[in-house]
Amino acid sequence: MNPAETTPVPPPAARRRPRSGRRARAVLAALAALAAVTVSGCAAGAAQAPVPAPRAQAPAAAELTEPDVTAWLDGFFPAALEATAIPGATVSVVHDGELLTARGYGWADTGVDGDRAAVDPEETLFRVGSVSKLFTATAVMQLVEAGEVELDTPVAEYVDFPVPHAFDTEVTLRHLLTHTPGFEERVAGLIEMDGDAPDLRAQLAADPPEQVYEPGTTPAYSNYGSALAGHVVEQVSGVPFDAYVDEHILAPLGMDSSTFTQPLPEELRDRLAAGYTSIDAEESGPFEVVTAPAGALTASATDMARFMLAHLGELDGDAALLADGTREEMHSPGLDHDALGTLADGPRMTLGFFEEDRNGHRALGHGGDTNFFHSHLQLYPDHGTGVFVSVNGGGADDLASVLLRESLLAGFADRYYPADDSGDAGEPAGTATAAEHAAIAEGTYGSSRSMHSTFLAVLGPLGGQTRIEAREDGTILVTPGPETMVPTAYEEIEPWVWREVGGQRTLTMRVEDDRVTAIGYASAFALLPVDGVRDAGFALPLVIGSVVLLLGAALSWPAAPLVRRRLGLGARDRSGVVARVLTRVGAGLALAALAGWLLALSAVLQFAAVPAALLAVPLAAQWAGVLALVPAGIVLVDDIRRRSGWRRVLASALVLLGLLGVAVFAGLFGLLSFDLTY
């Protein structure tokens, strides 16, 4: 039985701010809580019931008032938590310069480790993952405003170690804040379980990622880039990153319960919500130590409300954080058509925020995930409104927390900021043009946020590729949709701009010589064409077929002498015994290597540290499998030369093909690289 169906949900805890102007703001400052943000998580489980849809919207926009939004949230969250098997949630809404409401739902501690505790929006602290990057970007913009750094000066001038550099264009702070520095993804050290926070400089300098795209041209979400921006803050200010944020952002806002410090200061530790994979987890997760500027913030919903008010321009003095002009610059797209080409026709990164427009209304936001916490912050700058939500569990399946947050934010937009029917939503460009462009776009694509130089490149064909299919009506079917994770249809609304059929998501395509070279989506991400040999449609059958051949051979070898006697083939010539033995050993090691890499991948994806010495074992086995091609070739030639019969020749040929297929797959996806970092 699913515990979510039987566990009672406590009444929502509330924190409401009186609507009394300056005095109310002072009250909120005194009641500030802790804010924390992380980077990327991986939850797993069986699919459960979908998140319930918010209440049906009225024909016209509902008035955004404290009673209405509180009632709406109270109607949404209890059922949503039950359906997703997420233990608890905290949410805050600001509007017109005030905290409209802050609510807590479900459990901060389910009781599996001790006493059960309900979520309190003021007292309970959550890790907010990559929402922390908004604080890092704000810190950078403070230094820009002070004239201490420039957005378009090479980052290398601000740090004391070499910045990855493979193109003539040098990396700047503008590139770091817009996720276009061109770095491949790295996982090692991003999240550690327990322990002390590592030295940021040492972490960045010791094992930098390779630069695989020209800076400023390709959106590719980069935790390393955000961490590097935080180190610039350290270097220029002369104080550790967490100390700078505490003095220049948290303290001015009255966020006295928030911190980037890891582990948490003693006075805050007991207020942190326990993190779970789901509500029925047998124990809570350990404290996650995250690369600080990329996702280490811990905070409460009421503290995050103060940060939203600052970015909405509703606070004065030091609490404003940035001058109006600087804030407007930070909230504007950071790159133009000169850098991005037609990718700039879709959602773009500002200098820190994602463009997340909904229903024709301008929206800025940022999400964040760790293994156990999942958060999102979204602002409507033109309406003076902001929403923050965080949950302390992954839920029933991989997408449970994503669907809950998406349902909340979409429902909020539909209720209070619905689409204006008089507006131009964009008409299809025309069947003839769309069909032509759809045919050009057809193919296989991989994420720009990927690994290139390490064994983690194998994740590409193992599930990280997207297929685009042109359809007769001029639409395209994208499988899976890069944001929906299910097959999703798009229609062309402008040349090379595609909108989700029946939805609001968009894809933009950059085309060169009648070939799509990049597809932009969700501001900081892109899909890039996959070479034919790296297409999962080729690579997976290649490796699976090769494994089947080698397994079949390995299983047949013990019975080979008996079969030969039964068929009257006689014993093999002893002169080739060494080559045959080496072939069999190599085949076994090739299979063992693939199994070893799969185990390593599983550990890495759970953010477990895998020592290089341990990774050297499958690497050595993989190379042994490659070297076994030599004796396998000798065996085949010898069987042909001796006219050993078509059965022996076929068997030897199949073993050689199996070894060759595994070797090709290993070479294509980094399994032969002596660089064991990741």
Q: What is the pLDDT of residue 566?
A: 62
Lookup: tokens for 653: 């040929």
What is the distance between the alpha carbons of residues 280 and 512, in angstroms, rounded to a whole number? 51
Type of residue found at 479:
T
Q: How crowded is the C-beta side of 559, counted as CA atoms within 13 Å?
A: 8
308-328 pLDDT, tens digit each: 999 999 999 999 999 999 999
Q: Is the pLDDT of residue 296 over 80?
A: yes
pLDDT at 480: 95
Model pLDDT, residue 57:
44
Tally the residues of the chain: 678
pLDDT digits (tens, 9 = 90+) for 251-266: 999 999 999 999 999 9
Among 125, 123, 97, 128, which residue's Cα sits nearest to residue 14? 123
Give me the half-sphere count of Cα atoms (radius 13 Å) on the Cβ side of residue 231.
Answer: 25
CB 342 within 8 A of CB 496: yes
How far is Cα 519 from Cα 510, in angstroms, rounded to an integer? Answer: 6
Distance of CA 508 to the CA centre of its chain: 20
- pLDDT recorded at residue 136: 98
User: 355 and 236, same structural domain?
Assistant: yes
* Model confidence at 466: pLDDT above 70: yes
Last residue of a domain, one of 390, 416, 442: 416
Q: Say if residue 561 is in the same domain as residue 475.
A: no
Residue 471 has pLDDT above 90, yes or no: yes
Average pLDDT in the chain: 89
Residue with the larger pLDDT of the pair 674 and 573: 674
Q: Report yes or no on 16 lying in a domain.
A: yes
% the chain with pLDDT above 90:
77
Tell me, yes or no, whether 115 and 244 share the same domain.
yes
Provide mean pLDDT across the span 375-395.
97
Same domain, residue pair 538 and 658: yes
Q: Which residue has the tokens 């156990």?
A: 372
Co-location of 541 and 521 in the same domain: no
Measure the CA–CA gap between 358 and 378, rounded to whole angstroms.
11
Least confident of 139-148, 556-565, 615-624, 654-663: 556-565
Give the domain-ending residue among 530, 555, 581: 530
Structure tokens at 338: 């000169």
Residues 247 and 348 in one domain: yes
CB neighbour list of residue 546: distance below 8 Å, 6 or more residues apart: 657, 658, 659, 660, 661, 662, 665
pLDDT greater than 70 at residue 338: yes
The answer to whether residues 30 and 102 belong to one domain is yes
Q: Is residue 487 a part of any domain in this protein?
A: yes
| pLDDT beyond 90 at 133 | yes
Statement to judge: residues 505 and 588 lie in one domain: no
The per-residue pLDDT for range 200-241, each reduced to its tens digit, is 999 999 889 999 999 999 999 999 999 999 999 999 999 999
Closest among 63, 498, 140 to 351, alpha carbons compared? 140
Which comes out higher in pLDDT, residue 19 or 113? 113
State the pLDDT at residue 544: 97
Q: Return d(Cα 552, Cα 97) in angstroms, integer.
A: 70
Share of the chain above pLDDT 70, in %: 87
Same domain membership, residue 575 and residue 490: no
Q: Stretch 194-204: mean pLDDT, rounded?
A: 91
| Position 150 in a domain | no
552-569 per-residue burial string, b: 16 or more CB within 10 A, e: under 16: ebeeebeeeeeeeeeeee
In sequence order, what DSSP letters do the residues of 408-465 get, joined into one string?
HHHHHHHHHS---TTS-------HHHHHHHHHHH-EEEEESS--SSSGGGGGTTTT-E
Pick the range with the lowest mean pLDDT from 63-72, 280-289, 467-476: 280-289
Question: Which of 530, 562, 590 marks a domain boundary?
Answer: 530
Q: What is the CATH number of the domain that holds 47?
A: 3.40.710.10
Q: Which of 41-45, 303-307, 475-479, 610-614 has the lowest mean pLDDT?
A: 41-45
Q: How many domains does the chain have?
A: 3
Range of the domain at 495: 431-530
Contact between residue 109 and residue 117 where contact means Cβ atoms under 8 Å apart:
yes
Residues 569 and 656 in one domain: yes
Query: Between these two residues, 30 and 496, which has the higher pLDDT value?
Result: 496
Lowest mean pLDDT among 42-46, 244-248, 552-556: 42-46
pLDDT band at 34 (very low <50, low <70, confident <90, very high): very low
Cβ–Cβ < 8 Å for 132, 38: yes
Domain match, 355 and 470 both: no
The answer to whether residue 174 is domain-embedded is no
Q: Is pLDDT of 55 > 60? A: no
Residue 635 has pLDDT above 90, yes or no: yes
Q: What digits encode the pLDDT tens for the residues 545-561? A: 999 999 998 888 776 56
212 lies in some domain? no
Asked whether residue 144 is domain-assigned, the answer is no
> Cα–Cα distance between 261 and 246 in angstroms, integer?
9
> How much is the pLDDT for 645?
83
CA-nearest of 533, 409, 120, 109 to 285 is 109
The answer to whether residue 162 sits within a structural domain is no
Residues 592-604: tens digit of each pLDDT: 999 999 999 999 9
Q: 165 lies in a domain?
A: no
Same-domain status, 499 and 543 = no
pLDDT of residue 556: 81
